[in-house]
Structure formats: structure tokens, C-alpha cells
Structure 1
Amino acid sequence: MITNISLVTVYCLDQDKARDFYVDVLGFEAGTDVSMGEGFRWVTLRHPSQPELEVTLMVPGPPLNPEAADFYRRQLEKGEMGGLGLRVDDCRKTFEELSAKGVTFLQEPAERPYGVEAVMRDNSGNWLVLVEPRPFSPEAAG
């Protein structure tokens, strides 16, 4: 029986720079960092309030075939990769704090039927969605 999600993958071009961004800018904690031979490195992060879920930072490569790895690299370089949805207590405040740290936002905080949402980009080209949730109302969806 599956009991929860324990690991998600975020692709990046440089594991050190990506780890530093998530730790120093977003407040994640560094997890595992192990070289496993043949140039493969396993790097994980955890958020302090959700330590059971790890984010692995993967450079596009095996087990992806070369064409798939190249596609992921190109998407990252263009800033067109999806990443994570991050719950926040106050989207506007978080937007201001992260903007002050130099984070690039693709969308400023905006009202949505499910809460307040902003879209940012990590330093690898992944889009991250910040959501201050509220109960969904079909009427608000219009």
C-alpha cells in the first residue's frame, strides 16, 4: 500500500547552485549529497516543515536517454520547466521578501478562485508557484 509521496525530482543545470538557491533563498535544508560513480551525484533537499518529502536535484542525464536529457537541458535554459508548488502563509509578503533577495517573478501575486498565487523562477529555469490557499468556491471561478 502506498502511504505518501516521499520524493520528487527537480531538474537543474548545476546541482551546487540549485542547492544553494533552495537553501539560502527559499529556506530548505540540505539533505543527502553523495557521488555515486560515473559522474552521478544524488543531491536532496527537505523543507523544515515537511521533512518526510525530499526534493532531489537532478542534472539531466541517465537514466534519461540522450535525446530526453537534451530536451530537459534546453527547456531549463529557456526557463520553461515546471517545478514545484509551494504553499505560503502570505503570498504578497513572500513575494516582497523573495523579490528583495533578487528572485525573478513571472507573475506578481494575483487573486485566484483557490487563493493568492504568484509564479517565480528558480535559478535553474524551473517555474515555482507560490500559493496562499483558501477554500475553493465555484462561484469565485466565474
Structure 2
Amino acid sequence: MTISLQYTNVTVNNTDEAVVFYRDALGLSVVNDVASGGFRWVTLGSDAQPGLGIVISEPHAGRSQADGDALQELLTKGVLPMLVFQTDNLDATFEQARATGAEVLQEPIEQSWGPRDCAFRDPSGNTVRISQM
């Protein structure tokens, strides 16, 4: 038996702004863009990991009002789980992301636990870390 991750979800305030960040700052490409009931689910992917998709959507997309409100509150607080990406060239990836105006949380540094990494916030406040392979 084998198992692999197919999708992960990221909650954002504005789907269009998030697409620009994940596409332009991180180099992901739009794989699918589905609209339903006034909301959108956009799947982004990378040639480096075919078959793995990051699905971005707004808090109320496909959820009850109460669940969407609760998720919005967590997003506003900045306490949703972070995304961690890996790159073979941290300095170039950092400069590409910074050039888009992304909010820098941490410039590239050597961490005491091993990796060299940096961190940004996406337009909705989600933490995005990038480490060097």
C-alpha cells in the first residue's frame, strides 16, 4: 500500500490577491479555478511536485456561516497552520518573493536546528516559510 498527499488547503481573505502571491512570489502555477455559489477554489501546483495541489479559498467557501466566521477569526489572528516550502536556491527564492512586495518576516538565516530558511506572510497573514534543500 502507498499513500501520498494530494491536496492541502489554505484559507485566505482574497483569492485573487493570494493567487498573485503564490504564483508570482513563489512560482506556483494555477492548475484549476472552480467557482460555485459565489466563491472560488483555486488549485496551485509546482512542476517539482506533480500531483500535489494547494487549494486556496475564502473562510466561508463551502462552510456554514458559523464555521466560516470561526475560520475568519483564526485567519485574522494569524494562527492558522503555516506552509513550509523547500527550494534549491533560497537566496534567489527570497529575492523573487521580496521583489513582489511580500511581507518579510525573516530574511535567510541558518537555524540552530539545521535548515537555512526565511519567512514571509501571504496577503491574508498566513506564515509561509521557505527552507533550502
TM-score normalised by the chain length of structure 1: 0.79
- Asked if 2 retains the 8 angstrom alpha-carbon contact of 1:12 and 1:76, the reply is yes
In structure 1, what residue type is equivalent to 2:65?
P
Give unmatched runs, 5+ long, in structure 2.
none
Residue 22 of structure 1 corresponds to: 22
In structure 1, what residue type is equivalent to 2:123?
N
Q: CA RMSD in A?
A: 2.1
Give the length in aligned residue pairs: 132
In structure 2, what residue type is equivalent to 1:45?
L
Change (3 A) 1:66 1:87: same
List per-residue Cα deviations over 1:35-74 (Å, max 9, x = no partner). Answer: 23x3243321111211210111121125544333223223
Comparing 17-26 with 47-56, which one deviates more in the overlay? 17-26
> Identity of paired residues, percent?
33
Residue 32 of structure 1 corresponds to: 32
CA distance in 2, matches of 1:46, 1:105: 22
In structure 2, what residue type is equivalent to 1:47?
S
SS in 2 for 1:50: coil
Residue 49 of structure 1 corresponds to: 48
